[in-house]
A and B are shown apart, each in its own frame.
Chain A
Amino acid sequence: MSDSPVPANPAPPPQPAAAGGAPILSVRDLAIRFRTADGTVTAAADVGFDIRAGEIVGLVGESGSGKSQILMSLMGLLASNGHASGSAVFRGEEILNAPARRLDALRGASMSMIFQDPMTSLNPYLRVSTQLVEVLERHRGMTRAEAMAQALAIMESVRIPDAARRIRLYPHEFSGGMRQRVMIAMALLCRPALLLADEPTTALDVTVQAQILELIADLARSIGTAVLFVTHDLGVVARLCDRVIVLYGGRIMESGEATDIFGDPKHPYTRGLIDSTPRLDERSHGELRTIPGQPRAAQLAPMGCPFEPRCPHRVVRCRTERPAPQEAGLRQLACHEVRL
């Protein structure tokens, strides 16, 4: 069951943070539900985590595990049939279901988001300069000229060549990778405290994926922005992230520092994920390993562990009883069979 019976009070992080500093984002008991024609679908439940200033956290899981919806709920961008409950405190302020005016003061300024598909996330009818400048006009009250100068500077810092000319262009005149650079520039314009990145490289060529990821991580570190990375690419997480949260069926299976998780994965699902990541240095040219079975349809809302149907170590009570989270240091684990 959930780790705290009192949902509203932002509880202090489970451990004195080794990374230092109080969390800038504390999520507790987050649940996301969608009303559909077939009834209520639960996309995520009992989700809780902290993000400290400047930290890069990876949120990992298969398609449909609810990772993107968690980001959407934090930004107040859930679809109209979606509802989030629980609490998310951002720099001392409750942002879950906060009024739109309050959210508009934060969004784009102190928290911003990069979306999955750079091809459609920019407005095709407006120049890139217009789309950058309007953020600064809205949040920083700058004049057009000041905003333009700053927009140009950020275009250069995301390493868009010939930025002075390109800023006058329309999005369709950019390649996918360049458009995602523009999106990154737009998200970082106001030097936000928190950046939410929803699979920012999935839609891109493999050759530019690494560049974009490095760029996000570099810039975030240089301006002290914390990043919550949603991805299903474990390689990305291992390389860039300080901490990892592993999600399955809308619930957290395991979380901890990246080095610990990859050095010693505990949860059967995490192990399956790591085992099924192809490695270049592997000598055997055998078959790709997979986790048997299909992700559970969210509306089944199981009583027990969501991973139970596919788990190689399942026992009877995994089906009926939800494993209580075990904690040790920064590490958390939800499993009946494996001990921390």
Chain B
Amino acid sequence: MLRYVIRRCIGVIPTMFVLMTITFFMMRLSPGGPFSTNRKASAEIIANLNRHFHLDEPLWQQYLRYLWGVLQFDFGPSYKMRDYSVADLLIQGFPTSLKLGLAAILISTLVGVTLGTLAALRRNSWIDYGASTVGLVGIAVPNFVLGPLWQLLFGVMWGLLPVAGWGQSWTQMILPVVSLALPNIAYIVRLTRGSMIESIRSNHVRTARAKGLGERLAIWRHALIGGLLPVVAYLGPATAGIITGSIVVEKIFSVPGIGRYFVEAALNRDYTVVMGVTLLYGFLIILCNLFSDIVYGVLDPKVRYE
């Protein structure tokens, strides 16, 4: 197992290299540059800016320069937000996105697994229909509809929770966390329900009943592990996605995370910021997948990591 983890960690390096290279060149394929939308600046100023940031060099030279920087953990300056380096922006925003995301994924897992399991155990009961409805609504209704709706109901009409903001009170976390968690709850409920139904009907759970263990042990000890494996596999990439922030939720609730950079930086051709968030996202995906694979391997003895 340890050797497997070490090997996977070494595998991060070529993966990140490929990700970086592809992103670098794809981004440069799109027309325009970081300063081309600045109407006030004369051609001369733009040429000066380009020279200052080495954007006038041949592409391969820029690529090597960037690569050299990354090797020293220097991700360059932001072209749009002067006075900030990419590292500054990420270090400022990521802890917020991480906190919001971890809270959301934790709640999604707890609520999703519980509801999904109950729905599987009591099929066609009110709890099953209730869980299915939550699942349907959570998947079908997008965040930009539900977010403002929560703000209107809980913040404006009933005055129970702060409408937006971050960092002054823990109650400010509730609405964004719920908004971010809901689609995941929906997905996990459906996933858990389906795999638990299959697991409950499996032959080895029948054996557990035939041994007289009773329904509770048959479910807890014999059906749950198999039923939760698909959820574990899903949680890897889902966690990476959710902790790198959501532009919609962060915008709606004015949360100072890094979600907005994904879109803003790409629109502004802020090359270095795009590279920075892409590399961070890629690294987290690899990390979360590794973690989920390890958990999977612990739960399923048939999976052997050599």
Find out whether the CB atom of B212 lies under 8 angstroms from the CB atom of A124. no
B190 to chain A minimum Cβ distance, whole angstroms, is 22
Question: What residues of chain B lie closer than 8 Å to A170, measured between beta carbons?
Answer: 301-302
- Which residues 24-39 of A have a CB within 8 angstroms of B? none
Name the contact of B203 in the complex, choosing from A106, A120, A139 (C-beta under 8 A). Answer: A120
Stretch from A89-97, A108-116, A213-221 that touches the partner? A108-116
CB-contact partner of B210 in A112, A120, A123, A138, under 8 A: A112
Interface residues of A in 120-134 (CB under 8 A from B): 120-126, 134
Q: Is B222 an interface residue (CB 8 A)?
A: yes
Partner-contacting stretch, out of B7-15, B69-77, B213-221, B242-250: B213-221
User: In whole angstroms, how far apart are the Cα atoms of A101 and B215 in the complex?
Assistant: 9
Residues of A within 8 A of B222 (CB): 123, 126
Q: Give the residue name and chain of the A residue nearest to B211 (CB).
A: A108
A120–B203 CA distance with the chains assembled, in angstroms: 6
Taken together as a complex, chains A and B put the C-alpha atoms of A304 and B207 apart, in Å, by 37
CB of A227, distance to nearest CB on chain B (Å) = 15
CB-based contact A77/B221 at 8 Å: no
> Quick check: A107 and B301 within 8 Å, CB to CB?
no
- Interface pair B302/A107, CB less than 8 Å apart: no
Q: Quick check: A117 and B212 within 8 Å, CB to CB?
A: no
Shortest distance between the CB of A196 and any CB in chain B (Å):
9
Q: Does any Cβ of A come within 8 Å of B122's Cβ?
A: no
Which of A77, A113, A122 has a CB less than 8 Å from the CB of B204? Answer: A122
Q: Tell me whether A115 and B206 are in contact in the complex, defined as CB-CB below 8 angstroms, given that A100-B215, A104-B212 are known contacts.
A: yes
What are the residues of chain B within 8 A of A126 when measuring CB–CB? 221-222
Query: Is there contact, CB below 8 Å, between A108 and B301?
Result: no
Q: Provided the pairs A104-B214, A108-B213, A124-B302 are in contact, do residues A134 and B206 lie with their beta carbons within 8 angstroms?
A: no
Q: Are A134 and B203 in contact (CB under 8 A)?
A: no
Determine if A120 and B202 form an interchain contact, defined as CB atoms under 8 angstroms apart.
Answer: yes
Q: Is residue B141 contacting chain A, with contact meaning CB distance below 8 A?
A: no
Known A115-B206, A120-B202, A121-B204: A134·B213 in contact at CB below 8 Å: yes
Give the nearest-CB partner of B222 in chain A: A123
CA distance in complex: A135, B214 (Å): 11
Residues of B within 8 A of A104 (CB): 212-214
* Secondary structure of the B contact surface, majority rule: helix
Are A107 and B212 in contact, CB atoms less than 8 angstroms apart?
yes
- On chain B, the residues within 8 Å of A75 by CB distance are 210
Whether, in the assembled complex, B160 has its beta carbon less than 8 Å from a beta carbon of chain A, the answer is: no
List B contacts of A8 (CB < 8 A): none
Most A Cβ at <10 Å: residue of B207, B208, B300: B207
Is the CB–CB distance between A138 and B212 below 8 Å?
Answer: yes
A172 within 8 A of B: yes
Tell me if B210 and A108 are in contact (CB < 8 A).
yes
**Do B203 and A121 touch across chains, with their CB atoms under 8 A apart?**
yes
A103 within 8 A of B: yes
Chain B: CB-nearest residue to A186:
B211
Q: B300–A107 contact, CB under 8 A?
A: no
CA distance A104 to B210 in the complex (A): 8
Question: Are A172 and B301 in contact, CB atoms less than 8 angstroms apart?
Answer: yes
A113 and B210 form a contact (CB under 8 A) = yes
B99 part of interface (Cβ distance < 8 Å): no
Q: Which residues of A contact B212 (CB under 8 A)?
A: 103-109, 135, 138-139
- Asked whether, in the complex, the Cβ of B211 is within 8 Å of the Cβ of A125, the reply is no
Q: Which residue of A lies closest to B207 (CB)?
A: A121
Q: Which of A183-239 contact B (CB under 8 A)?
A: 183, 186
Bound: A17/B27 CA distance, A: 89
Does B225 belong to the interface (CB within 8 Å)? Answer: yes
B124 CB to closest chain A CB, in angstroms? Answer: 11
Residue of A nearest to B210 (CB): A113
Contact A124 B301 (CB under 8 A): yes
**For A138, what are the chain B residues with a Cβ–Cβ distance below 8 Å?**
211-214, 217
Expressed in whole angstroms, the Cα–Cα distance for A124 and B222 within the complex equals 9
Which residues on A sit within 8 Å (CB–CB) of B207?
115, 121-123, 183, 186
> In the bound complex, do residue A135 and residue B215 qualify as a contact, i.e. CB atoms below 8 Å apart?
no
- Distance of A101 Cα from B216 Cα, bound (Å): 11
**Residues in A neighbouring B204, C-beta threshold 8 A:** 120-124
Q: State which residues 261-291 of B face A: CB under 8 Å.
A: none
In whole angstroms, what is the CA distance A220 to B208 when docked? 22
B210 to A125, Cβ gap below 8 A? no
B148-185 with Cβ < 8 A to chain A: none
> CA separation between A134 and B225, bound complex, in Å?
17
Name the distance in Å between A321's Cβ and chain B's nearest Cβ: 39
With the chains together, A134 CA to B222 CA distance in Å? 11
Q: List 24 A-B contacts (CB under 8 A).
A: A100-B215, A101-B214, A107-B211, A107-B212, A108-B210, A109-B212, A113-B210, A115-B207, A120-B203, A120-B204, A121-B207, A123-B207, A123-B208, A124-B204, A125-B299, A125-B300, A126-B222, A134-B221, A138-B211, A138-B214, A139-B212, A170-B301, A172-B301, A183-B207
* Extra 13 A-B pairs, beta carbons < 8 Å, given A125-B226, A138-B217: A104-B212, A112-B210, A112-B211, A122-B207, A123-B208, A124-B301, A124-B302, A125-B300, A125-B301, A134-B221, A135-B212, A172-B301, A172-B302
- Which 3 A/B pairs are nearest by Cβ-Cβ distance? A107-B212, A108-B212, A108-B211
